[in-house]
């Protein structure tokens, strides 16, 4: 049975793992399962280390330190295999070893450890209520990192276009045809010791039909976290989130917690305001579920994205904006829809991954109110329709 680890899940483009700090794998590193050539090279350069005494975690750390010293001696094939396997599963808690996870709703905690460019979009044709076109672009890159510290910067932009004007039924307020989100942020993470990590993120942007027109359409976000290992199989994380444009509550700091538990085939993150589960009972099946406020993502996947992976599931998607001429400053314009996708993920070339899907979009509406449960100014219903979506992720 193939061991499920957080790094491998990222390599498989399994989204929905957010707010997660890497926990040491419960299993020992069974390096004999590597290809014969790579196994022989490890024995050649690190034979003494592979026979070291101690628990699995300590032994693995000793071997990995040896491999790093012999990086120039290893063959390219072995380097690639180690990068996708053991070297991606470092048992020490280091900012370099912690991948960047983006929280739902744009609330990020862990800064990006490698440069990443992500572009995607969707097209929902509908004659009755008009076509809807969405595009998004995100760029993340570390600007400094060492054994204890990691700084990163990010920038993102999203566009939402309605093919025809929608009108809120109660107030008669028109929904802007074009809406935009622009965001700039920076993150920091620091390793305190082998089991503890602390960090945070700040961002500023705009989400409106007229971005940056005035301060009332400006978005501000901040987050901080502290994480520690409770056992070799589990971790705790304390969080605090602040935003004036998020799915739960605006202008109020939201304290939270996450308890993370890992086995060779299961990763669970249970807490508030986010929970997620990933279960891989046997190759090539994988099941995921995540919940953050009103957003829900559930998926059943089959296959390996290093070759090809097909998936289906259910997505409850919500976006919020600050139109320039909204009646009340505290009001937000929400676009809400549910998806039943059928898609495939596969690598295009080294470092470039694609995700293509078609599906059915239903229960679609735009409404305005003080929070996601409020429709003070009324709503506009959009007809259900088929849609197509695409996503390209470049890891540099």
pTM confidence score: 0.73
- Name the residue with higher pLDDT: 203 or 73: 203
334-367: pLDDT as tens digits = 999 999 999 999 999 988 999 999 999 999 999 9
What distance in Å separates the CA atoms of residue 322 and residue 331, rounded to the nearest whole number? 7
15-51: pLDDT as tens digits = 233 333 333 333 334 454 454 557 777 777 787 777 7
**Residue-level length of the chain:** 396
Determine the average pLDDT of the residues in 164-169: 91
- Name the residue with higher pLDDT: 334 or 147: 334
What distance in Å separates the CA atoms of residue 306 and residue 79, rounded to the nearest whole number? 17
Determine the average pLDDT of the residues in 95-99: 29
Looking at residue 147, what is its pLDDT? 82
Q: What angle do CA 176, 177, 183 make, to 5 degrees?
A: 75
Please give the mean pLDDT across all residues of the chain: 80
299 close to 276: Cβ distance less than 8 angstroms: no
What distance in Å separates the CA atoms of residue 188 and residue 199, rounded to the nearest whole number? 5
98-146: pLDDT as tens digits = 222 333 333 456 777 789 999 999 999 988 888 999 999 999 999 998 8
| CATH 2.40.160, the chain: domain bounds | 98-395
Residue 58: pLDDT band by 50, 70, 90 thresholds? Answer: low
Out of 2.40.160, 1.10.150, 2.30.30, 1.20.1070, select the CATH number for domain 98-395: 2.40.160
Is the Cα torsion angle 5, 6, 10, 14 positive or negative in sign? positive
224-282: pLDDT as tens digits = 999 998 888 888 999 999 999 987 788 899 999 999 888 888 888 899 988 889 888 88
Looking at residue 240, what is its pLDDT? 94
């Amino acid at each position: 049975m193939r061991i499920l680890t957080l790094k491998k899940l990222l390599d498989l483009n399994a989204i929905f793992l957010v707010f997660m700090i890497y926990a040491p794998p419960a299993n020992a590193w069974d390096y004999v399962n590597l290809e014969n050539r790579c196994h022989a090279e490890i024995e050649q350069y690190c034979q003494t280390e592979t026979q070291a005494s101690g628990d699995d975690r300590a032994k693995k750390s000793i071997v990995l330190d040896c491999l790093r010293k012999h990086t120039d001696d290893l063959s390219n094939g072995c380097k690639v295999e180690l990068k996708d396997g053991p070297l991606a599963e470092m048992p020490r808690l280091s900012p370099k070893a912690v991948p960047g996870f983006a929280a739902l709703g744009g609330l990020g905690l862990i800064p990006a450890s490698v440069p990443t460019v992500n572009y995607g979009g969707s097209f929902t044709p509908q004659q009755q209520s008009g076509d809807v076109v969405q595009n998004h672009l995100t760029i993340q890159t570390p600007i400094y990192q060492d054994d204890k510290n990691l700084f990163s910067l990010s920038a993102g932009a999203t566009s939402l276009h309605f093919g025809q004007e929608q009108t809120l039924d109660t107030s008669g307020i028109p929904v802007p045809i074009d809406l935009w989100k622009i965001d700039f942020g920076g993150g920091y993470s620091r390793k305190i010791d082998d089991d503890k990590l602390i960090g945070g993120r700040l961002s500023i942007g705009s989400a409106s039909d007229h971005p940056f027109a005035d301060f009332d359409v400006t978005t501000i976000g901040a987050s901080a976290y502290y994480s520690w290992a409770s056992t070799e199989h589990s971790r705790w994380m304390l969080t605090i989130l602040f935003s004036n444009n998020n799915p739960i509550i605006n202008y109020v700091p939201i304290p939270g917690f996450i308890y993370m538990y890992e086995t060779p085939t299961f990763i669970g993150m249970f807490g508030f305001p986010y929970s997620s589960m990933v279960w891989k009972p046997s190759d090539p099946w994988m099941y995921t579920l995540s919940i953050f406020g009103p957003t829900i993502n559930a998926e059943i996947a089959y296959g390996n994205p290093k070759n090809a992976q097909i998936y289906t599931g259910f997505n409850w998607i919500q976006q919020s904006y600050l139109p320039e001429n909204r009646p009340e400053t505290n009001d937000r314009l929400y676009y809400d829809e549910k998806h039943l996708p059928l898609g495939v993920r596969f690598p295009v070339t080294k470092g470039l991954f694609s995700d293509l899907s078609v599906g059915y979009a239903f229960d679609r509406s735009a409404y305005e109110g003080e929070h996601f449960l409020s429709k003070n100014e009324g709503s506009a219903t959009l007809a259900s329709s088929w849609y197509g979506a695409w996503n390209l992720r470049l890891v540099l």
